[in-house]
Structure 1
Amino acid sequence: MVIIDSEGPFPDVAGILVARALWRYRSELAPAYLLAVLALGGAVLHLTHPQWWPWLLSVATVAAWALAMFGARVGLSLRIERFYAATVAMGGGGWLSAATALGVMFGPLPMLLAGGGFLLAVPWWTHRRRRTKVRVDRQIAAWPEIAQSVGLAGSRAQSAVVDVWGWRARFALARGQTIQDVMAKVPAIESALGTFRGAVRVFPTRDDKANRFELRVLDSDPHADAIPWPGPSVSSITEPISLGPFEDATGARVLLLRRHGLIGGVAGSGKSGGINVLMGNLSACRDVVIWAIDLKRGMELQPWASCIDRLATTPEQARAMLRDAIAVLEARADWLAANGRRVWEPTPELPALVIVVDEYAELADDAPDAAGDTDSIARRGRAVAVTLIAATQRPTQKAMGKGAVRSQMDVRVSFRVRERKDVDLILGQGMLSAGWHAQTLDAPGKFLLSAPEHDTPRRGRAYLLTDVTVAETAERHASVRPALDEVSRRALDEARMTPISEPSVLVTPSREDRTENALREALDGAPDEGLPIAHLLMITQLSRPTLYRRLSELVKAGRAVQVGRGRYKASDHVR
Structure 2
Amino acid sequence: MSRARQMRRHARKMRRNGLQPVIVVNNDDHLPDLAAVVIGRALWRYRSELAPLYLALTLVITATALHHSQPTWWPYFLVTATLAAWALAVFGAGLGLALRAERFYAATVTMAAGAWLVAGTALGSTHRPLPHVLVAGGFVLAVPWWAHRRRRAKVRVDRQLSAWPQIAQTIGLAGSRVQSAMVDVWGWRARFALARGQTIQDVTTKIPAIESALGTFRGAVRVHPTQDDRANRFELRVLDLDPHASAIAWPGPSITSVTEPIDLGPFEDATAARFLLLRRHALIGGIAGSGKSGGINVLMGNLTACRDVVIWAIDLKRGMELQPWARCIDRLATTPEQARVLLRDAVAVLEARAEWLAGQGRRVWEPTPDMPALVIVIDEYAELADDVPDTAGHTDSIARRGRAVAVTLVAATQRPTQKAMGKGAVRSQMDVRVSFRVRERKDVDLILGQGMLTAGWHAHTLNAPGKFLISAPEHDTPRRGRAYLLTDETVAHAVTEHASLRPSLDQISRTAIEEAHAGVHLPVEDEQAEMPDSTEPALAPETALWVMLTGAPDEGIPVPHLVTATGMSRPWVYQRLRELADSGRVIQVTRGRWRAATDHRQ
TM-score range, shorter chain: 0.7 to 0.9
- Partners of 2:562 and 2:307 lie apart in 1 by 22
Q: Within the alignment, does 1:435 sit opposite 2:459 as a pair?
A: no
Deviates more, 1:521-530 or 1:460-469: 521-530
User: What is the letter of the counterpart of residue 317 of structure 1?
Assistant: Q
Deviates more, 1:235-244 or 1:144-153: 235-244
Deviates more, 1:173-182 or 1:294-303: 294-303
- Partners of 1:541 and 1:415 lie apart in 2 by 39
Give the C-alpha shift of residue 534 in structure 1: 7.0
Q: Within the alignment, does 1:563 sit opposite 2:587 as a pair?
A: yes
SS in 1 for 2:248: coil
User: What is the letter of the counterpart of residue 430 of structure 2?
Assistant: M
Q: Is the 8 A contact 1:150 1:188 kept in 2?
A: yes
Q: Is the 8 A contact 1:305 1:538 kept in 2?
A: no
1:508 pairs with one of 523, 527, 535: 527
User: What is the letter of the counterpart of residue 266 of structure 2?
Assistant: P
Give the C-alpha shift of residue 60 in structure 1: 4.3
Distance change in 2, residues 1:262/1:340 (3 Å): same
Aligned to 2:428: 407
The CA deviation string for residues 413-452 of structure 1, in whole angstroms up to 9 with x for no partner, is 1111111111111111211111111111111100000112
Distance change in 2, residues 1:113/1:209 (3 Å): same
Aligned to 1:94: 115
Give the C-alpha shift of residue 306 in structure 1: 1.8
User: What is the letter of the counterpart of residue 527 of structure 2?
Assistant: T
Aligned to 1:362: 383
- Partners of 1:537 and 1:98 lie apart in 2 by 85
- Partners of 2:551 and 2:448 lie apart in 1 by 48
Give the C-alpha shift of residue 133 in structure 1: 0.6
- Partners of 1:470 and 1:429 lie apart in 2 by 35
Q: Within the alignment, does 1:235 sit opposite 2:267 as a pair?
A: no
The CA deviation string for residues 273-318 of structure 1, in whole angstroms up to 9 with x for no partner, is 1011101111112211111111122221111122111111121211
Q: Is the 8 A contact 2:500 2:574 kept in 1?
A: no
User: What is the letter of the counterpart of residue 305 of structure 1?
Assistant: A
Deviates more, 1:372-381 or 1:176-185: 372-381
Q: Share of identical aligned residues, percent?
A: 72
Aligned to 2:478: 457
- Partners of 1:66 and 1:549 lie apart in 2 by 57
1:245 pairs with one of 266, 276, 284: 266
Distance change in 2, residues 1:201/1:243 (3 Å): same
What pairs up with 1:389-538 in 2 under 5 angstroms?
Answer: 389-400=410-421, 402-500=423-521, 508-509=527-528, 511=530, 528=554, 530-531=556-557, 533=559
Aligned to 2:24: none
SS in 2 for 1:303: helix
Q: Within the alignment, does 1:153 sit opposite 2:174 as a pair?
A: yes
2:276 pairs with one of 255, 266, 269: 255
Number of residue equivalences: 563
- Partners of 2:432 and 2:172 lie apart in 1 by 34
Deviates more, 1:168-177 or 1:289-298: 289-298
Distance change in 2, residues 1:228/1:483 (3 Å): same
User: What is the letter of the counterpart of residue 469 of structure 2?
Assistant: L
Give the C-alpha shift of residue 127 in structure 1: 2.1
What RMSD over aligned residues (CA atoms) do the two structures have, in Å?
3.6
Q: Is the 8 A contact 2:500 2:575 kept in 1?
A: no
- Partners of 1:487 and 1:365 lie apart in 2 by 32
Give the C-alpha shift of residue 112 in structure 1: 2.4
- Partners of 1:507 and 1:196 lie apart in 2 by 63
User: What is the letter of the counterpart of residue 360 of structure 1?
Assistant: Y
Q: Is the 8 A contact 1:328 1:492 kept in 2?
A: yes
The CA deviation string for residues 197-245 of structure 1, in whole angstroms up to 9 with x for no partner, is 1000000000000000000000000000111111111121111111000
SS in 2 for 1:410: strand
Structure 2: segments with no counterpart, 5+ residues: 1-26
- Partners of 1:35 and 1:45 lie apart in 2 by 15
User: What is the letter of the counterpart of residue 509 of structure 1?
Assistant: Q
2:288 pairs with one of 263, 267, 274: 267
- Partners of 1:132 and 1:163 lie apart in 2 by 9
Give the C-alpha shift of residue 184 in structure 1: 0.1
Aligned to 1:558: none
Give the C-alpha shift of residue 529 in structure 1: 5.3
SS in 2 for 1:398: helix
Q: Is the 8 A contact 1:271 1:415 kept in 2?
A: yes
Q: Is the 8 A contact 2:179 2:192 kept in 1?
A: yes
Distance change in 2, residues 1:507/1:491 (3 Å): closer
The CA deviation string for residues 374-419 of structure 1, in whole angstroms up to 9 with x for no partner, is 1111111111111000111122233348433112111111111111
Q: Is the 8 A contact 1:394 1:425 kept in 2?
A: no
2:219 pairs with one of 198, 221, 236: 198
Please give the TM-score of this superposition, normalised by the length of structure 2. Answer: 0.84
User: What is the letter of the counterpart of residue 297 of structure 2?
Assistant: N
The CA deviation string for residues 9-51 of structure 1, in whole angstroms up to 9 with x for no partner, is x98x999987766554432232122223322332344345444
Distance change in 2, residues 1:541/1:112 (3 Å): farther
Aligned to 1:283: 304
- Partners of 1:505 and 1:87 lie apart in 2 by 88
Q: Is the 8 A contact 1:271 1:445 kept in 2?
A: yes
Q: Is the 8 A contact 2:288 2:414 kept in 1?
A: yes
Distance change in 2, residues 1:361/1:105 (3 Å): same
Q: Is the 8 A contact 2:503 2:571 kept in 1?
A: no
Distance change in 2, residues 1:200/1:541 (3 Å): farther
Give the C-alpha shift of residue 349 in structure 1: 2.1
User: What is the letter of the counterpart of residue 157 of structure 1?
Assistant: V
- Partners of 1:401 and 1:144 lie apart in 2 by 45
Q: Within the alignment, does 1:129 sit opposite 2:153 as a pair?
A: no
User: What is the letter of the counterpart of residue 220 of structure 2?
Assistant: A
Q: Is the 8 A contact 1:360 1:392 kept in 2?
A: yes
- Partners of 1:161 and 1:215 lie apart in 2 by 11
- Partners of 2:69 and 2:560 lie apart in 1 by 84
Give the C-alpha shift of residue 91 in structure 1: 2.4
- Partners of 1:368 and 1:300 lie apart in 2 by 22
Aligned to 1:112: 133
Q: Is the 8 A contact 1:31 1:117 kept in 2?
A: yes
SS in 2 for 1:411: strand
Give the C-alpha shift of residue 332 in structure 1: 0.7
User: What is the letter of the counterpart of residue 136 of structure 1?
Assistant: V
Q: Is the 8 A contact 1:264 1:415 kept in 2?
A: yes
Aligned to 1:188: 209
Distance change in 2, residues 1:536/1:143 (3 Å): farther
Q: Within the alignment, does 1:382 sit opposite 2:403 as a pair?
A: yes
Q: Within the alignment, does 1:318 sit opposite 2:339 as a pair?
A: yes
Deviates more, 1:109-118 or 1:285-294: 109-118
Deviates more, 1:15-24 or 1:80-89: 15-24
Please give the TM-score of this superposition, normalised by the length of structure 1. Answer: 0.88
